[in-house]
């Protein structure tokens, strides 16, 4: 599981900082999460293959999370994209994009789909044979969802030496990898654990931005490998954080601790701070396994 | 008159090239012309004072000319702008901006006005005591206008030595600067040309992008100091230029020559070409006074 941070700063794009966008690579799928202005240039700078992005998840309709979407959709068309593209986001995102495509008379040649969200309960929005994506209802000034990306349990690894020893035919291998025991011709049952090794544990990633401190999400994100939680402010601005419905680094750490996540990744920093190191320092007083996201950084989990 | 090129490349923003946007400083007014994605970052990089921009002129609703507008409007608000802002552009621009501001629940605190255009005749869209701005109807795949910025004739310069010699009182100076003759107490008439010097000639700038080769604009832009004319393609792509309703460098030069402009500035280059020098070479076979625009360059005229 790789996560590339295209942008992790709040409010406006600036000369050296970018608004929210991330690329998550999980089970060989590439998901784009949020799409602030300039995301397509950040994709180029970070050498992400445009055509591999088939799903874009938008948290909410504040500009620093989606103003780059219309440009990316248009550029996909100029690049002669063929694959369908699906955009997941709050009700309204479809109207905004369609209106602009209509007025520019440039409806894409590829299939463009929208999954519009309005529920305040966590729901599955994407599922295939390897990955499942659920919403994480957040509390912000406008309707907002985080997203939980979970790998499905992987098939067990074949113990090649063992299956050869028992002279099991190849046609049974898939059943074995699926966890089944095998009955030999002499009637003897070989339990699956003698024929396989444990698969790698499925990975999970929770993206939570933007949100005020909200313990309701703890249950949904419980035990994830990586939690990206917004930390727009430091503790000194706690009142402002609540007023603007954002979180502090310490609050993000509290959520990480309660949800028993393996790692916390901070981001969505206000540009008022000269350095972001203090965010880590504050969070680590609560939750040690904290890292700072930063534009252009790729994390391997 | 200063012109700062924020972006002058066609189609999509890239790592080192930006879509169309320019800042024209004329008679101490700052006009933003077109606003492709990333314009607000280009304004920062080029150290343009955000608050001095009160008028934004949008040529047409293709993304590379206006996808940065919503972001700039939002950022103005975050920067606590007070001055009114007026956006000039094709019918539809208001609906696009208002829809996004509504869905993000972030209507600006400053006064935001729209002047929507639909005429196919040149019309005055802005006028104050020093500058007048007219549309230049262009021919492109969708409704498009260029803009002609003209300084109004300036008042004559007082010949201080002469007015003192004739002992003319200060209260008459404004009339003299306005071109009036003066009658002395003894009845003698002093003609204005003895009391003043010629003022600097009013400057003019014509922005023409995007457009197919169109001689109809020659009359409107006749004699301007500077003509920015799109040159998306070289002559080798002339057929493609006509098909996509763009111009070649040579066609831009033909318009410049017919309109008897003082200088031609090329731009809106397709990113298919490795170097833009050929654009100048081709244009100069027709019109010698040709310069190449490029991102981040400021021209003084």
What is the pLDDT, as a whole number, of residue A265? 98
Q: How many other C-beta atoms can be found within 10 angstroms of the C-beta atom of residue B1? A: 17
Nearest CA in chain A to B18: A41
Which single residue is written with the structure tokens 């933007």?
A: A210
What is the pLDDT, as a whole number, of residue B261? 98
pLDDT in tens, B43-69: 999 999 999 999 999 999 999 999 999
What is the pLDDT, as a whole number, of residue B4? 98
A104 touches chain B (CB under 8 A): yes
What is the pLDDT, as a whole number, of residue B13? 95
Find the mean pLDDT for residues A287-299.
98
What is the pLDDT, as a whole number, of residue A166? 94
Decide if A195 contacts A158 (C-beta within 8 A).
yes
Interface of A with B in 207-226 (CB under 8 A): none
Q: Enter the tokens of residue A13.
A: 């794009």
- Strand, helix or coil at A13? coil
Nearest CA in chain B to A42: B15
Interface of B with A in 25-44 (CB under 8 A): 37-38, 40-41, 44
Chain B residues closer than 8 Å to A11 by CB? 75, 78
Nearest CA in chain B to A92: B103
pLDDT confidence band for A3 (50 / 70 / 90): very high
Best CA proximity match to B297, nearest among B262, B266, B261: B266
Q: What is the domain partition of chain B in residue ranges?
A: 2-154+200-300, 157-197
What is the pLDDT, as a whole number, of residue B112? 98
Q: How many whole angstroms separate alpha carbon B232 and alpha carbon B19?
A: 12
Buried b (16+ CB within 10 A) or exposed e, B132-152: bbbbbbbebbebbbbbbbbbe
Which single residue is written with the structure tokens 């540009």?
A: A271
Chain A residues closer than 8 Å to B100 by CB? 61, 63, 96
Distances (CA, A) of B99 to A90, A137, B52, B70, B106: 14, 24, 26, 10, 11
Which single residue is written with the structure tokens 């509390």?
A: A139
pLDDT confidence band for B143 (50 / 70 / 90): very high
B295 touches chain A (CB under 8 A): no
Best CA proximity match to B9, nearest among B254, B294, B203, B218: B294
- Strand, helix or coil at A199? coil
Please give, rounded to a whole number of angstroms, the shortest distance from the CA of B225 to a CA of chain A: 31
Compute the mean pLDDT over every residue in chain B, rounded to the nearest whole number. 97
Task: Give, rounded to a whole angstrom, the gap between the first and last alpha carbons of chain B.
Answer: 5
What is the pLDDT, as a whole number, of residue A132? 98
Total beta-carbon pairs less than 8 A apart between chain A and chain B: 99
Task: Give, rounded to a whole angstrom, the gap between the first and last alpha carbons of chain A.
Answer: 5
pLDDT in tens, B149-177: 999 999 999 999 999 999 999 999 999 99
Q: Is B229 annotated as a binding residue?
A: no
Decide if B95 contacts B66 (C-beta within 8 A).
no
Q: Let me know if domain A2-154+200-300 sits in CATH 3.60.15.10.
A: yes
Q: Enter the tokens of residue A221.
A: 């994100």
A272 touches chain B (CB under 8 A): no
Q: How many whole angstroms separate alpha carbon B62 and alpha carbon B257?
A: 28
Decide if B292 contacts B258 (C-beta within 8 A).
no
What is the pLDDT, as a whole number, of residue B63? 97
Decide if B116 contacts B90 (C-beta within 8 A).
yes
Q: What is the ipTM of this complex?
A: 0.92
Best CA proximity match to A60, nearest among A283, A230, A257: A230
What is the pLDDT, as a whole number, of residue B197? 96
Find the mean pLDDT for residues A122-149.
98
Find the mean pLDDT for residues A198-214.
96
Q: How many whole angstroms separate alpha carbon A244 and alpha carbon A141?
A: 7
pLDDT in tens, A87-118: 999 999 999 999 999 999 999 999 999 999 99
Is residue B128 annotated as part of the catalytic site, yes or no? no
A170 touches chain B (CB under 8 A): no
Provide the annotated active-site residues of A.
64
Chain A residues closer than 8 Å to B40 by CB? 12-13, 37
Find the mean pLDDT for residues A274-282.
96
What is the pLDDT, as a whole number, of residue A139? 98
Please give, rounded to a whole number of angstroms, the shortest distance from the CA of A164 to a CA of chain B: 54
B101 touches chain A (CB under 8 A): no
What is the pLDDT, as a whole number, of residue B69? 98
Say which residues have a Cβ less than 8 Å from residue B241's Cβ, sequence separation at least 6. Answer: B212, B213, B232, B233, B247, B248, B251
Decide if A11 contacts B79 (C-beta within 8 A).
no
Q: Enter the tokens of residue A22.
A: 């991330």
Find the mean pLDDT for residues B223-241.
98
DSSP helix, strand, coil percent of chain A (3-state; round to 5): 30, 30, 45
Distance of CA B190 to the CA centre of its chain: 40
pLDDT in tens, B178-229: 999 999 999 999 999 999 999 999 999 999 999 999 999 999 999 999 999 9
Distances (CA, A) of A141 to A61, A272, B248: 10, 20, 49
Find the mean pLDDT for residues B231-260.
98
């Amino acid at each position: 599981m790789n996560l590339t941070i295209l942008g992790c700063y709040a409010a406006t794009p600036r000369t050296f900082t970018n608004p929210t966008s991330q690329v998550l690579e999980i089970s060989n799928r590439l998901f784009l999460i949020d799409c602030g202005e300039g995301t397509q240039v950040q994709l180029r700078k970070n050498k992400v293959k445009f055509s591999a992005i088939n799903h874009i998840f938008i948290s909410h309709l504040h500009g620093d999370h989606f103003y780059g979407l219309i440009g990316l959709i248009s550029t996909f068309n100029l690049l002669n994209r063929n694959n369908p593209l699906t955009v997941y986001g709050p009700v309204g995102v479809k109207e905004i994009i369609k209106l602009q495509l209509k007025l520019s008379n440039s409806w894409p040649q590829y299939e463009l789909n929208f999954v519009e969200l309005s529920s305040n309960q966590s729901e599955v929005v994407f599922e295939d044979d390897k990955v499942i994506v659920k919403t994480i209802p957040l509390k912000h000034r406008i309707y907002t969802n985080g997203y939980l990306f979970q790998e499905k349990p992987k098939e067990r690894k074949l113990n090649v030496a063992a299956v050869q020893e028992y002279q099991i035919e190849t046609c049974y291998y898939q059943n074995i990898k699926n966890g089944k025991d095998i009955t030999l011709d002499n009637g003897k049952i070989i339990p699956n654990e003698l024929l396989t090794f444990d698969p790698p544990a499925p990975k999970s990633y929770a993206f939570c931005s933007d949100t005020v401190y909200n313990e309701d999400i703890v249950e949904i994100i419980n035990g994830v490998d990586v939690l990206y939680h917004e930390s727009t402010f430091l503790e000194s601005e706690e009142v402002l954080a609540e007023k603007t419905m954002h979180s502090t680094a310490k609050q993000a750490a509290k959520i990480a601790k309660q949800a028993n996540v393996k790692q916390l990744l901070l981001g969505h920093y206000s540009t008022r701070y000269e350095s972001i190191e203090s965010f880590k320092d504050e969070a680590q007083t609560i939750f040690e396994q904290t890292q700072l996201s930063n534009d252009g950084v790729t994390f391997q989990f």
